[in-house]
Structure 1
Amino acid sequence: MPYDADATRARIFDAAVAEFSAVGIGGARVERIAERAQANKALIYRYFGSKERLFAAVLADRLKQLVETVSIDPESVAEYVGNLFDYHVTHPEMIRLMMAEEFHSGIADMPGQEARSRYYSSKAQAVRTAQEQGRADTSLDARSVVLALTGLVCWYFAAPHISRMVLDEDPGDPAVLEAHRTALVEAARRIVQPG
């Protein structure tokens, strides 16, 4: 069977996501990634150069998926919260990867920062458009709205032990997830509603 570079790279990415989201960048080991990916450790270094560059490539790939999946529609800004919540339910590793980056890198060291800033700027522009159309409160800074809406969702996944204590229920239970999603979308609607 001929060597399939794309399949190998996909296995490496999947193994790296599992490793980095479980133990962060500092705790991750290329040996474990190679073993899980059924790939040669030297091949990983040849493809990526270092563990940090592998992490940056994996995170960039996962962020690209997030960008392509979740956006803010100026006609229904509050529903962004529901869509983002759904994404994190099906991609629980995403928050852990972003937290691993946060612990490992200073803001000046963040790979792809310029592109990521443009992504968030486009979200703020969608809120501004909603404000211009009379669909969102104009007294709030659009950037702060984006940060608040994102925070509403992300804390639930970043600190599941706190979610469990506050809700006094299993935060992974499908009924709890659905009830919390509904509450978040309603909270977002109240935050952005005009007047």
Structure 2
Amino acid sequence: MEPHLGASASSPGVPGDVALIGQHGLVGADDDPEHPELTRLLLWEGLLDLPEVPDEDSRTAYYRTKVAAFTRAQQTHLISDDMSGPDLAFLILALAGWWYAVPQMARMMHADDPATQETAREALMRAAMKLATPTSL
């Protein structure tokens, strides 16, 4: 798990406008089809309900970088401030990870028209943009 976390942590990015918010939220999610174990390990950590997880300090710093980027974009009115920066960042990351956390659910829900990696990514981008688009636009 550590090498994969390190690779994701090296490129947190900053959303420059609402059109980029989906891409920002999906940093690391593009690796999930090839490395779904990261999302599944995060779920396992949640099930264990540990008082602290491995490497929590550096992982917290990484996520705070993402949250700070969302908050800056909100403060400059590039993205919606209808919810807090931490909530928006968490929800977008959760959307991105859930496709790979429960592939059996995605398969069952798309039984008539199976999702591909490309259609899943497009849906995630649209959902992230809808969450992040300011209501005044």
- Aligned pairs (5 A) from 1:43-192: 59-69=1-11, 71-75=12-16, 76-103=20-47, 105-168=48-111, 170=114, 176-192=116-132
Structure 1 SS opposite 2:51: helix
Give the letter aligned to residue 93 of structure 1: E
Unpaired runs of 5+ residues, structure 1, are 1-58
Percent identity between matched residues is 23
TM-score by length of 2: 0.83
Structure 2 SS opposite 1:78: helix
CA RMSD in angstroms, aligned pairs only: 1.9
- Aligned pairs (5 A) from 1:4-43: none
Higher helix share: 1
CA–CA distance in 2 between the matches of 1:111 and 1:164?
A: 32
TM-score by length of 1: 0.60
Unpaired runs of 5+ residues, structure 2, are none
Q: Which has the larger radius of gyration?
A: 1
CA–CA distance in 1 between the matches of 2:55 and 2:27?
A: 24
Mark the CA change 1:83 to 1:66 in structure 2 (over 3 Å): closer, same or farther.
Answer: closer
Is contact 1:81-1:184 (8 Å) kept? Answer: no
Is contact 2:36-2:101 (8 Å) kept? Answer: no
Give the letter aligned to residue 155 of structure 1: W
